[in-house]
Chains A and B, each alone.
Chain A
Amino acid sequence: MQQARTGESTIRNETIVERTADRELVVTRTFDAPAHIVFDAWTKPELLKRWWAPKSFGVSLFECESDLRVGGNYRYAFGRDPRYPEVFSGRYVEVTSPSRLVLTQVYERMSDAGEAVVTATFEESQGRTRLTLHQLFPSKEALEGALASGMETGMRVTLDQLDALVVSMR
């Protein structure tokens, strides 16, 4: 198993990125709150709009529609300019509040590449919640499409290894 860790202080909750299989990427993070709160923040559009888009990248989530039930659809439109949004959409495959969510995901610019399957699990322990996000890409092309969007990728080498390589080459 390959891992990339953030080299931050131990006081902060660490974001861990792992590549567990050829097309699968796993992101793990713990939150200081019970699962039902993290699940809500992850599924309610008015809350998603406030955190999903990384602000320092200058992007916002313009539209967020979510019909949170098995077979229900969702759609996120984000980007720098609302006139030219990037769109992720898909449907919910499994909705088990507040512990598990499975959804399909299509990056509309690359819709020919097929659907990714995203599984989010929320494990509560002593008032804290560990979120595990599995992203299974349908193909190499889809992975490359996601890569081109600059938002997701499959990682085959750890960031620690790259850190060491890059530092040693300066």
Chain B
Amino acid sequence: MYHTFEVDGVDHKLWLSPCRQGNRLHLTDQVIAPVKFVSHNDSCGLLTIAGEAEPVRVVVDGDVLHVLIRGRTRTLRYRDPLRTLASVAGQDNSLVARAPMPGVVLTTTVSPGQSVSAGMALMMIESMKLETIIRCPQDGVVDRIHFEEGDSFERDAVLVTLTKEGR
């Protein structure tokens, strides 16, 4: 799994590997070696890249690096895969309708194979003497209804699963 840095809204993959005299930098379209960075103080350093030495001014602010090289300033943001990948694919989560709390199924208003749209009522549940409508999270087709009328379920239980249409 490569490391990713975002620059000007574009993600760039890279990998650093050790080599004699420093490191090898693997980019999508090229490999540069050796690369080395020597810090002179908090914000000053010298970058050696493929034999060329470039003075660098840099300030690191968490995962964000503000870098000035040869009169040009850019901001690079390290995209930690644990964070960036965790937020993706929330979409698949919405193929299920979960119980917000433990309860009992009162009535089911859809049946398997039925086309449903986001926001449509799927079933009515009762919990703590309150009646709640479970709504469809996104457009799709009802795959399975996991509880029958009168069944009880736990919090977070999957009440209804959907499949995406036409897939």
Tell me whether A and B are bound partners.
no
